Structure 1
Amino acid sequence: MPIETITKNGRRRYRWTFERVIEGKRVRKTKVIPAGLSAAEADKLGRQWDAEVYAVETGIKKPVVTIGECVRLHFQDEGSGWKDFTTRSQVMEKYAAEYEDQDALDLYEWSVRFTGYMRASVDRSGNPKKPMNDKTISNTLGYIRAAIKYAHKKGKVAHDETGKLVIPKFSNERHIYKGRREMLQIARACTHRETRAAIRVAFYSGMRLSEILRAAVTREGYSLSTTKNGRPRLVPIHPRIAVIARRIRFTIRPSKLKDEWNKARAKAGYPDLRFHDLRHSAASEMINAGIDLYTVGGVLGHKTPASTKRYAHLVTDRLAEAVSKIGKGK
């Protein structure tokens, strides 16, 4: 029988098996039928898969390259160099059943269905699940797109059809800026010496947390041999943190610092403020002081002007303030 009933993770599922001799060659394939299908639906899908395998083996139809094959190739060849390898592995494993057997050249309708499934509050078996937001969906489809593009580059996929993927758009920008007074409130509420120092350095330098913890102090400033954009960077030391630069050497673990930050921000009355918002605040302070966007981007280490455009509205606000003063002079 091509379709048989099995138990997988304590639930009844159907499994398709193809085993036949075609033109003197024994062909055997097996796959678990997607959850939620009835016996009749599973049998119909099994017959469809039978026909596809037979067509491929007899040369009537070219072999289908699946998204699952693309993902495995991408991980095998490139995975060791990814900083987010663990996160990406967990995501891909979680949704493997949704993309494993999907044709890598037939992406439009599949991506629409996949997005709908991720947004749904129940799984294929009708059990409750957590709906995913558009950022998570976009990231997941981004991983899949990268895998298919890599497979195309390696000659595994005939055409790059990733342009047909329907990927939700989302805004990743946060416009939360705090001034020196709020920063000092949080720093004073912090009882951990290194964390307190890191808060001040973040505000007066615009450096990321990871950069603060590994920056080397030189006469010219904070020296970063490598940064997010792949280039070295030198950040001048603000006079207000010169003593910190001389006396503090950061040895704290990032996780410990975040714990101390969370306690301090809550105590100071800013429970939703992220440490990274201090970097945005540094940009805001520079722009409000009349520094142009190009220079601000240089301080923050942006590789392209596009990264600095998120602060463009601050310049507009400052110009509006200037225009409002027209005619108010003596």
Structure 2
Amino acid sequence: MPIETITKNGRKRYRWTFNRIIKGERVRQTKLLPAGISSAEADGLARRWEAEIYAIANGERRATVTIGDCVRKHVADKKDRWKDAVKRIRILQKWSAEYADQDALDLHDWSIRFVGYMRAAKDHRGLPKRPLTDASIRNTLAYLRAAIKYAHKVGMLSEDQTARMAMPSVSNERHHYPQRREMLLIARACKHREVRAGIRIAFYSGMRKSEILRAMVTKKGFVLTDTKNGKPRIVPIHPRIAVLARRTRFTVNANVFGNHFEGARVAAGLPTTHFHDLRHAAASEMINAGVDLFTVGGVLGHLSIVSTKRYSHLVTEKLTTAIEKIGGR
């Protein structure tokens, strides 16, 4: 069982190589063993892998499709269609040692261990590492889940066992709804003309930052041909920003925009207000003015009413008023 010691990224690692003829056919496999394991552990893994190869060759067991196999297939077939390809591939490569040899049909216990390791403050060698938030962990697992589902779709896997993966629950909902005064304080503190305009437009339209930067201004309103839900939409222009919308042509990129907004919110004494909160503020203003949730969802570009229901608690007072009218004359 040839185990050799190599150096990868300045660290000592073990590599296993299998190269033999079984039933008249040459079988070659090479695997990089997980970092931090001992020589004895490396030998144990090598013996197990060799036994698996002979068992598969003799028909005693099925060939194992690993999560690593699924990821390689998914990346090869789909990477050109991913908007986040660079980020996704970087994350998949970062954690490859943790999933590369894991059976893609045995996910439950492995996912629990993997989540625990990503949350841990130390790596396998006992060295400090940065623990991931549950949101980041869920994002990583979502990439792996997509790869496994794709492998099942193309026939690599006989079953889809991704429902057994332990996915941390994450609540990203914020319930901060800035008032007009808060929006104006930030806008006045902003020194960048385009960003200052974007702050006001967000409050009076409910558009996302990316939508504001690319929207076309027409007589009908802000025209968005490419939206998050994949459907084009038109957002009417509020009278208070009509002149501003016609005169402003956005040339600033998203990063510069974000930096100026962060500086403005700090200068205004509102460091915890997010730009996306202005979108929530627009929804809040419409609901408080008596606009129904379905219409609010249409303005915001929600594909499903489920997305708009996050604002349902804002209509509590109106529900109380409605109940009081029961039985009235």
Q: Decide: shared fold, TM above 0.5.
A: yes
Compute the displacement of 1:321 (Å): 8.0
1:11/1:58 CA distance change after superposition, 3 Å = same
Q: Deviations over 1:34-73 (max 9, x none)?
A: 1232222221121111100111122222211111111111
Q: Residues 39-58 of structure 1 correspond to what in structure 2 (within 5 A)?
A: 39-58=39-58
Correspondence for 1:327? none
Matched, 1:22 2:22: yes
**TM-aligned CA deviation for residue 28 of structure 1:** 2.0
What amino acid sits opposite 2:180 in the alignment? R
For 1:321 and 1:121, how far apart are their aligned partners in 2?
52
Q: Which one is further off, 39-48 or 115-124?
A: 39-48
1:250 aligns with 2:243: no
Indicate the SS of the match to 1:12.
Answer: strand
CA contact (8 A) 1:3 1:46 kept: yes
- Residue deviations 1:138-172, cap 9 Å, x none? 11111111111111111111111111111111101
Q: Distance in 2 between matches of 1:262 and 1:48?
A: 54
Q: Distance in 2 between matches of 1:100 and 1:323?
A: 59
User: Which 5+ residue runs of structure 1 have no aligned equivalent?
Assistant: 325-330
| Distance change >3 Å, CA 179–CA 64, structure 1 → 2 | same
Q: Could you list the runs of 4 or more consecutive aligned residues of structure 1 that deviate by over 6 angstroms after TM superposition?
A: 321-324
CA contact (8 A) 1:261 1:275 kept: yes
Alpha-carbon offset, residue 177 of structure 1: 1.0
Q: Give the Å deviation of 1:317.
A: 5.1
TM-score calculated relative to the size of structure 2: 0.95
1:29 deviates by 1.4
Structure 2 equivalent of residue 36 of structure 1: 36
Supply the AA of the counterpart residue of 2:107.
L
Q: How does 1:132-143 map to 2 (within 5 A)?
A: 132-143=132-143
Q: Give distance in 2, aligned partners of 1:12 and 1:82.
A: 34
Aligned equivalent of 1:3: 3
Corresponding residue of 2:95: 95
| One-letter code aligned to 2:263 | K
Report the Cα offset of residue 8 of structure 1. Answer: 2.6
CA distance in 1, matches of 2:261, 2:73: 40
Aligned to 1:111: 111
Q: How does 1:233-248 map to 2 (within 5 A)?
A: 233-248=233-248
Q: Deviations over 1:105-164 (max 9, x none)?
A: 111111011001100001111111000111111111111111111111111111111111
Number of corresponding residues: 326
Counterpart Cα distance in 2 of 1:221 and 1:258 = 24
Q: CA deviation at 1:11?
A: 2.5
SS where residue 13 of structure 1 aligns? strand
TM-superposed CA distance for 1:4, in Å, is 2.8
> How many Å separate the matches in 1 of 2:115 and 2:41?
23
AA in 2 matched with 1:96:
S
Q: What residue in structure 1 maps to residue 81 of structure 2?
A: 81
Question: Contact 1:206–1:280 (CA<8 Å) still a contact in 2?
Answer: yes
Q: How does 1:1-330 map to 2 (within 5 A)?
A: 1-316=1-316, 318-319=318-319
Distance 2:317 2:25 in 1: 73
Work out the CA distance in 1 between the residues paired with 2:273 and 2:196.
Answer: 15
Gaps of 5+ in 2: 325-329
Q: CA deviation at 1:5?
A: 2.8
CA distance in 1, matches of 2:72, 2:215: 37
- State the distance in 2 between where 1:250 and 1:117 align: 44
Cα separation, partners in 2 of 1:268 and 1:6, compared to 1, 3 Å: same
Q: Counterparts of 1:321 and 1:111 in 2: how far apart (Å)?
A: 49
Letter matched to residue 140 of structure 1:
T
> Contact conserved, 1:152 with 1:158, CA < 8 A, in 2?
yes
Once the two structures are TM-superposed, the CA of residue 305 in structure 1 deviates from its matched residue by 0.6
RMSD: 1.8
Q: Secondary structure at the match of 2:178?
A: coil
Report the AA paired with residue 97 of structure 2.
A
| Cα distance in structure 2, aligned partners of 1:204 and 1:101 | 52
Identity of aligned residues (%): 62
In the aligned structure 2, how far is the partner of 1:123 from the partner of 1:175?
Answer: 36
Change (3 A) 1:317 1:170: farther
**Residue type matched to 2:178 in 1?**
K
Aligned to 1:328: none
CA distance in 1 between counterparts of 2:28 and 2:142 reads 33
**Matches of 1:74 and 1:15, distance apart in 2:** 25
**Separation in structure 2 between the aligned mates of residue 322 and residue 294 of structure 1, nearest angstrom:** 18
Deviation at 1:318, TM superposition (A): 4.9
